[in-house]
Amino acid sequence: MQDGFKKDDLLQFTERGIWCPPADIYIDPWRPVKRAMITHGHSDHSRYGHDSYLCTTQAAPAIKYRLGDINLQTVDFGKRTVINGVEFSFHPAGHILGSAQIRVAYKGEVWVASGDYKLENDGLAEPFESVPCHTFITESTFGLPIYDWKPQEEVFAAINDWWRANAAEGKVSLITAYSLGKAQRIIQSLDTSIGKIYTHGAVENMNEVMRAQGVPLAPTTRVTQEIAPKDYPGHLVIAPPSALNSSWIKKFKPLSRAVASGWMSLRGARRRRSVERGFVLSDHVDWKDLNAAVDATGAERVIVTHGYTNIYTKYLNEKGILAQAAQTEFSNEGDDVKEESAESGKTES
């Protein structure tokens, strides 16, 4: 258990992950355990090697696809599961499809482990639900006032304008976005009258998983060797972040490159990635929504994980909320490994 935490805490931060001692179960563990509850399918929260897994019904298809033959059980949002007297329930986190916050209640004490989350309803993930609790475990990926997202409609309009201008000049438009979640969020908001949407194998694999769940997505075409380079100009290609540094993009000429990420808020981020455009689009809360989420829980205590943990902890303490930082092995948005390691061997073409 980490320094500064109590031995009788309902949830404890250990070397294997977030552990609930009375139920002997872990939430998003980063090392193999017997029983794991998983908030969502991104690879820093959903890892291979556990004896058994529990996640939401909606998150299961992506987790099964990425982890393969695992012992996975599912539960619907809001349904209560009792393990050795501890009550667990999953509630929408709004991060990606099926993503959940996990409510843990025991002997009158309530904790919520939020995983990753956002408050803006993207029309794809189940909308975020505030869950009252005594202790709230929150990320702080974008826990600074400089992170202030515009409404997504404005961002998608800018993406479509960029694509339209490139098409008029006979260019290929390539935009990078994580293969699970953000890529589909972009796809459902593109103006398909401009041209066709092509996808990297990692993105199209997840499209197929979601379509099999009944998620309506605009038509997309997987990039293959059979498609001639002359067929791409005027159209848009969606690829994972790692594609920018690969030889895979050499087939697209002439090319305009863009990144969709919350980190595009930072001056110089676009230049460092050697792209022409940066669109500020994140599946995490910005500063104002982070604070709104914390306030809405009514929590007396807040535990801050990945991101600007020390800064945000200090801010909450100065507001009169008991807060402390916790070390985890969860990644911040922007780490290519976060998503692409799960696609090893599946990112053909």
In whole numbers, what is the pLDDT of the chain averaged over residues? 93
Provide the Cα torsion 111, 50, 207, 151; round to 10°. 20
pLDDT at 5 over 90: no
Secondary structure element (H or E) that encloses residue 186, with its range: helix 182-187
Q: Which 3 state secondary structure label does DSSP give 272? A: helix
pLDDT in tens, 110-158: 999 999 999 999 999 999 999 999 999 999 999 999 999 999 999 999 9
Query: What pLDDT sits at residue 3?
Result: 64
Query: What pLDDT sits at residue 335?
Result: 41
**If pLDDT is split at 50, 70 and 90, which confidence band does 331 have?**
confident
CA distance 222 to 224: 6
Query: What pLDDT sits at residue 343?
Result: 43
**If pLDDT is split at 50, 70 and 90, which confidence band does 333 have?**
low
Query: What pLDDT sits at residue 346?
Result: 43
pLDDT in tens, 81-106: 999 999 999 999 999 999 999 999 99
Q: Which of 311, 332, 288, 337 is nearest to 141 (CA)?
A: 332
Burial of 93 (0-12, 13-18, 19+ CB in 10 A): buried
Across the range 294-308, mean pLDDT stands at 97
Kindly state the DSSP code that residue 83 receives in the 8-state scheme.
Answer: E
pLDDT in tens, 191-228: 999 999 999 999 999 999 999 999 999 999 999 999 99
CA distance 123 to 301: 31
Q: Which domains does the chain have, with CATH numbers?
A: 12-146+283-343 (3.60.15.10), 152-279 (3.40.50.10890)
The better pLDDT of the pair 83, 270 is held by 83
Query: What pLDDT sits at residue 320?
Result: 96
CA distance 306 to 104: 21
| Token representation of residue 230 | 């002359």
For a pLDDT cut of 90, what percent of the chain falls above it? 89
Please, which residues have CB within 8 angstroms of residue 131's CB and are 6 or more apart in sequence?
91, 101, 103, 112, 297
**If pLDDT is split at 50, 70 and 90, which confidence band does 273 have?**
confident
Please, which residues have CB within 8 angstroms of residue 343's CB and are 6 or more apart in sequence?
66, 179, 202, 205, 240
Across the range 251-276, mean pLDDT stands at 89
**pTM, two decimal places:** 0.93
pLDDT in tens, 21-54: 999 999 999 999 999 999 999 999 999 999 999 9
**If pLDDT is split at 50, 70 and 90, which confidence band does 348 have?**
very low
CA distance 208 to 205: 5
Given the DSSP bridges, would you call strands 86-92 and 81-83 parallel, antiparallel or unpaired?
antiparallel
Q: Is the dihedral of CA 67, 68, 73, 75 positive or negative?
A: positive
Asked if residues 129 and 89 have their Cβ atoms less than 8 Å apart, the reply is no
Query: What pLDDT sits at residue 337?
Result: 39
Query: What pLDDT sits at residue 39?
Result: 98
Place of tokens 């910005």: 286
